[in-house]
Amino acid sequence: MHARRSPIAATIALCLFACSALAADLEPGELLRQAEAERQPYLETLKDLVAIDTGTGQEKGLATVSQMLVKRLEALGAEVGTRPATPSAGDNIVGTLKGSGTTNFLLMVHYDTVFAEGTAAERPLRMDEQRAYGPGVADAKGGVAMILHALELLRNQQFDDYGTITVLFNPDEEMGSAGSKKIIAELARKHDYVFSYEPPDRDAVTTATNGINALLLEVKGKSSHAGSAPEDGRNAITELAHQLVRLKDLGDPDKGTTVNWTMIAGGEKRNIIPSRASAEADMRYSDLSETERVLADGQRIIEDKLIGDTAVELRIDKGRPPLAKNPGSERLAETAQQLYGEIDKRIEPIAMRFGTDAGYAYLPGSDKPAVLETMGVVGAGLHSDEEYIELSSIAPRLYLSVAMIRALSAGTSR
């Protein structure tokens, strides 16, 4: 008895055998030539985006870029709506294109950056022979431009064999996506495929990302005079130090889980035995069971106290979930490799140590949607004065987005 293959798996399998054709009237070489012709318009869009400050929380700049993106999506024929990204500043922008097929795609990326007001004026887009530089040029305004110009190519080709292409631009990824994670999850459930446009640092697509949690350790002791009656106190800082030494190995290298204690606080004055102390840790993980395991191990460890009559509490605040290793993402990477091979290029499937919004799109235990990350332009130096994109990657990455949509839509049109 054979296992039943899911519709998404069957579609991807079909692509691996037949995607070289893309469509009867458009060969890979021609599609790449069209993408190369789109490079200069792409750079013009990128220049406009980089020229506006959109640091997370910068309402004026976020509003300006939001209006720009709404107009661009409408010009592409999309039905566009916005939702406030409360509690964050700015709007989630959703554009929808309806086609004649049945396969549904969500293309998403953020338009906020990490840079302070005035940075765009200080460091406007500049280029040398190989790279373009500027605040947010790769992370992720290069991804915003990639989506817009991939859609422009599809429109120019009069290709509409997809069912729906939905675009989501969100304004708060750099601070955890508090105001956009819900809409990401809602939209993702309605689509077969999700492409997220964070930048890779080489020609790669990402099939797995880390999740991010915060561990919070709190100790309550008792204050007393540090000089005349220290024995009457219960030193929370000393107990905290004891626990931190014991909790330092909560990570699991074999599973890629890291727990690093990065912040501590405690004490009021030098002459008072501290009654309170706390610490915070950064946790990164890819195995979905690790959150529960780390918390259970930590709570067992803190039962052994150095100083009696102190209270020790450990909790986890869940952050961005991982895009865990899964067959759907891996099959999409295989499709990307096949399509890239058609233009004599190689692309690498990778797993990333940091977390992205792809984690909110991924639904554990389901093959729908299949999620692929780092579909954006190749770049590096993120969050620094030297952030850049590789100019040579623009056309091939535009080709990749368009080719993936065309290939995955094959055989589904009505």
Which three-class secondary structure string do you get for 28-52? Answer: HHHHHHHHHHCHHHHHHHHHHHHCC
Average pLDDT (362-370) is 91
Tokens of 376: 């954006």
Question: Of these residues, 173, 192, 290, 387, which one is catalytic?
Answer: 173
Average pLDDT (79-86) is 98
pLDDT, position 412: 42
Q: Are strands 164-170 and 104-110 parallel, antiparallel or unpaired?
A: parallel
Whole-number Å distance between alpha carbons of 349 and 347: 7
Q: Is the pLDDT of residue 18 over 80?
A: no
Domains and CATH numbers, the chain: 7-209+323-409 (3.40.630.10), 211-318 (3.30.70.360)
Is residue 309 annotated as a catalytic residue, yes or no?
no
The mean predicted confidence, pLDDT, of the chain is 94
- Helix 28-37 × helix 141-156 angle, to 10°: 120
Residues 206-231 have pLDDT tens digits of 999 999 999 999 999 999 999 999 99
393 sits in the region (left: phi over 0; alpha: psi -120 to 50; else beta) called alpha
Residues 95-141 have pLDDT tens digits of 999 999 999 999 999 999 999 999 999 999 999 999 999 999 999 99
H/E run at residue 394:
helix 394-409
Is residue 112 annotated as a catalytic residue, yes or no?
yes
Residues 144-199 have pLDDT tens digits of 999 999 999 999 999 999 999 999 999 999 999 999 999 999 999 999 999 999 99
The 8-class DSSP code of residue 130 comes to S
Question: Of these residues, 112, 161, 174, 192, which one is catalytic?
Answer: 112
